[in-house]
Amino acid sequence: MTITLIPGTATLAQLHDIWRNERAAVLDPAAHDGITAAAALVAQAAAGEDAIYGVNTGFGKLASVKIAAQDTATLQRNLILSHCCGVGDPLDVATTRLMMVLKLLSLGRGASGVAMTTVNLIQKMLEKGVTPVIPSQGSVGASGDLAPLAHMAATMIGEGEAMFAGARMRSDAAMAKAGLHPIALGPKEGLALINGTQFSTACALVGLWGAWSNAAASVVTCALSTDAIMGSTAPLQDAIHTLRGHAGQIAVARAQRALMDGSEIRESHREGDTRVQDPYCIRCQPQVTGAAMDLLHFAGRTLEVEANAVTDNPLVLVEDGLIVSGGNFHAEPVGFAADQIAIAVSEIGAIAQRRVALMVDPTLSFDLPPFLTPDPGLNSGLMIAEVTTAALMSENKHLANPCTTDSTPTSANQEDHVSMAAHAARRLARMNANLNVILGVEAICGAQGIGFRAPLQTSANLKSVIDVIRTEVPALAEDRYMAPTLESAAEMIADQRLIDAVALPGFVKGQTAW
């Protein structure tokens, strides 16, 4: 199915659908006239004598060099080739396609000056499955994501490499196999394609969706942990959370109450329990993970705005008849959003890791056997699984340090303050993968701990979750080779199987609200 997008109004839900299901996308035909009008204004300027940046001048520090009219096509081609300086592992296909869709949305606002033939080629590449190979390193998020987007544009002119039908090949070969033809770039078109924040924004959006999925999964795994240690549900009472008023906190408490409703384990110790309060990692889950969700919601709104923005330079202001240089390519909003997402991911993992430590520690776990093994001593149980979560938690703490504060001047000091949004966004994939493991181990521990409470039964909701876990992770009786077990549990978190096992009140996939 092809998604029709109205520039300026694309939603996170639409973009999530495009990314997750690798859908094609086209612009609403109502956008075509604006695109064409801007292209006509650029063509008029290119034929004139006035120096206009990126149309008939050099770029960056070379903006003072005037380019002859007969050389403007060569100027745009040279721009693309010279900027293809990306290094590192290629961006995955789904995120690359999302980046292309974001570029479509930006061009569709009718302020970039590209021809409809250029827009149509991007749409056809999405339809036919021609995906440029985009090296993931090389952008500082300054004059746009220059290097990554140059590799996208290179495929459009028949240079570089692309993926087609699951194979990596030369771009011209991929285009030919798809029945497409490379284009020659007109005035400003190369600059319009490589100026912009679409690489950073695509990576940040994927990081946002992964973080939101992990946050929802952590509500499920915390419910397992709470029942495993026979924790109190009194701190989940709605009145406590509405008195504070934060939406995320209220939502987390409500969802966890629903998950634990009807647990025999919980009912068994409502009276006569000598514990006054559980540790913070249990008692303050709504306050911590709820705050992280509020932060994700804020970052999501920023990225939704950016996804619909025009971020190249110069901008074509058709109504005023002007082509004006500005700085919309600076990715500071994206960098800030990515840094916020990183903090949220780190904190969700930090409090989850403490729940794992709580369950395996015989001095804290309220009568659970040491390291959750029925025969401790001969068996080490989940001792080192907890150590792994500690390692990943620490790694995420380091990765959560802000990137946007690490500006460095580039391009002969013309670009003297940069956002570092690209690697702020890229590191989110690694952080979410680490969090998948932390939450996967928590799910293993929670299910194992609940098993030791038999004959008391957990709630129907949590039984459903444990049933899913047990499809790939058998209960731990004797020590076994554990790496595949951790991998399976992490995959269950990543692909949302534990979330799908229950109805989390108010949580919707691909959204960052309640």
- Please calculate the CA angle 316-417-50 and round it to the nearest 5 degrees: 30
Taking alpha carbons only, the member of 252, 253, 221 closest to residue 465 is: 221
Question: Mean pLDDT, to the nearest integer, of 317-325?
Answer: 93
Question: Mean pLDDT, to the nearest integer, of 459-473?
Answer: 97
The tokens for 2 are 């092809």
Is residue 270 predicted with pLDDT exceeding 60? yes
Give the separation between CA 166 and CA 250, rounded to whole angstroms: 45
The tokens for 72 are 């403007």
Is residue 433 predicted with pLDDT exceeding 80? yes
Taking alpha carbons only, the member of 208, 283, 207, 209 closest to residue 252 is: 283
Question: What integer pLDDT is reported at residue 487 of this predicted model?
Answer: 98
Catalytic site residue from 53, 209, 329, 507: 53
| DSSP, res 36 | H
Alpha carbon separation from 161 to 134, 181, 194, 420, 501 (Å, rounded): 9, 14, 17, 26, 41
**Range of weakest confidence among 46-55, 105-114, 381-390, 463-472:** 46-55
Q: What is the pLDDT of residues 385-428, one digit of tens each?
A: 999 999 999 999 999 999 999 988 888 777 778 889 999 999 99
Torsion, Cα of 450, 451, 455, 456 (10° steps): 10
Question: What integer pLDDT is reported at residue 63 of this predicted model?
Answer: 66
**Beta-ladder partners of 26:** 4
Question: What integer pLDDT is reported at residue 513 of this predicted model?
Answer: 57
Residues in the chain: 514
**Which pLDDT band holds residue 467 (cuts at 50, 70, 90)?**
very high
Give the separation between CA 348 and CA 320, rounded to whole angstroms: 49
**Range of weakest confidence among 97-111, 273-287, 307-321:** 273-287
Question: Mean pLDDT, to the nearest integer, of 441-452?
Answer: 98
At position 167, the amino acid (one-letter code) is: A
Give the separation between CA 79 and CA 86, rounded to whole angstroms: 14
Question: What integer pLDDT is reported at residue 510 of this predicted model?
Answer: 57
Non-local (6+) Cβ contacts of 388 within 8 A are 437, 441, 486
Tokens 């959370």 label which residue?
Answer: 241
Highest mean pLDDT among 255-269, 463-477, 494-508: 463-477
Give the separation between CA 246 and CA 248, rounded to whole angstroms: 6
Question: What integer pLDDT is reported at residue 360 of this predicted model?
Answer: 97
The answer to whether 346 and 438 have CB atoms below 8 angstroms apart is no
At position 295, the amino acid (one-letter code) is: L
The answer to whether 508 and 500 have CB atoms below 8 angstroms apart is no
**Which pLDDT band holds residue 119 (cuts at 50, 70, 90)?**
very high
Catalytic: 53? yes
Is residue 207 predicted with pLDDT exceeding 60? yes
**Which pLDDT band holds residue 366 (cuts at 50, 70, 90)?**
confident
Instruction: Compute how many other C-beta atoms are within 10 angstroms of the C-beta atom of residue 333.
Output: 22
Taking alpha carbons only, the member of 457, 425, 448, 443 closest to residue 493 is: 443
Is residue 243 predicted with pLDDT exceeding 90? yes
- Which of 3.40.50.720, 3.90.110.10, 1.20.200.10, 3.50.50.60 is the CATH number of 204-312+344-408+418-500? 1.20.200.10
The tokens for 449 are 């701990």
**Range of weakest confidence among 148-157, 184-193, 219-228:** 184-193
Question: Mean pLDDT, to the nearest integer, of 87-95?
Answer: 97
Is residue 167 predicted with pLDDT exceeding 70? yes
Q: What is the pLDDT of residues 26-80, one digit of tens each?
A: 999 999 999 999 999 999 888 877 777 777 776 666 767 777 777 778 888 999 9
**Which pLDDT band holds residue 512 (cuts at 50, 70, 90)?**
low
The tokens for 179 are 């029945």
DSSP letter for each residue of 104-115: HHHHTTS-S---
At position 342, the amino acid (one-letter code) is: A
Question: What integer pLDDT is reported at residue 390 of this predicted model?
Answer: 98
Average pLDDT, the chain: 93
Is 0.85 topped by the overall pTM? yes
Hey, what CATH class is 2-196 in?
mainly alpha
Question: What integer pLDDT is reported at residue 511 of this predicted model?
Answer: 62
Torsions phi, psi for 164 (to 5 deg): -150, 130
Burial of residue 39 (CB within 10 Å: 0-12, 13-18, 19+) is buried
The tokens for 88 are 């590192």
Question: What integer pLDDT is reported at residue 411 of this predicted model?
Answer: 80
**Domain boundaries defined on the chain:** 2-196, 204-312+344-408+418-500
Tell me how far apart the terminal alpha carbons of the chain are, to the nearest angstrom: 27
